[in-house]
Amino acid sequence: MQRPEAGKPLIKFNHCKKYIYSFSMPQCCPLCGQVTGSRKLEEAPVSISDPFTNGHQEKCSFLLRPTQGTFLREYDGRSDLHVGITNTNGIVYNYTTCGVQRDEVGWEQSVSIPLLQPGMFGLMDQWDKYLEDFSATEAWLPQRYEDDHHNCYSYTLTFINCVLTAEGKEQLGKREFTEKYVVPRTRKASKYITLYRAIEERGFYVTDRPDEETNPPEGSGSC
Ligand SMILES: [Zn+2]
């Protein structure tokens, strides 16, 4: 079984008029070599939010992860993704060629999207039974599985639409679902992965600060 690996946290700080990303605040700036321990507020490190969460700790959520391997190690932006739905105990229901799986491990590094609006306690009480009954229907027998048309996405989308209906909301189409739920998250995850791997390789990563790029050259003010 694959070792569940949590990524190291990332930080960002200002130095040399650049943004510098790293796993931890270095003693010296990697660009100018000066000691970084200044007490200037604008040089204090800020943490970068990690787009991944342990899916087994998420209730009533939609989860996304690479079919093979993990986001931080293996994902290349085109890798196949696998999706599932958690119950209230972090068990991940997902549809595969073997039928509906109920995973207790393997989703430790997932992109997670909560499916219940805060305060929908009635629905949360029934969630596990609802998910279990839904999964037991004939639609999700192993022999019904088809790579392109009846897969893990069909399973989660059909379930999400049942929830939306129960909440009195409109259903989502496949395209809308992908654009609204999947694409923005995988895009954000891809950016984070690029940054993460660059830091792993070189120890830090540097970008221009937007305010430094847009500042007019000195003396060009109109006043
Ligand atoms: Zn510096």
Distance 20 CA to ligand 1 centre (A): 9
The ipTM assigned to this model is 0.96
Distance 155 CA to ligand 1 centre (A): 51
pLDDT exceeds 70 at position 196: yes
Span 32-44, pLDDT tens digits: 999 887 677 777 8
Distance 73 CA to ligand 1 centre (A): 30
Distance 30 CA to ligand 1 centre (A): 7
pLDDT at 15: 92
Residues carrying CATH 3.90.1720, the chain = 55-188
Q: Which CATH class is domain 55-188?
A: alpha beta
Distance 19 CA to ligand 1 centre (A): 10
Q: Cα(124)–Cα(138) distance, rounded to whole angstroms? A: 24
Contacts of 109 (CB under 8 A, 6+ apart): 4, 5, 6, 7, 52, 54, 65, 70, 71, 72
Mean pLDDT of the chain: 88
**Of 38-42, 75-79, 81-85, highest mean pLDDT:** 81-85
Length of the chain: 223
Higher pLDDT pick, 33 / 181:
33
Amino acid at 80: D
Cβ–Cβ under 8 Å, residues 22 and 35 = no
Q: What is the largest CA-CA distance in the chain?
A: 75
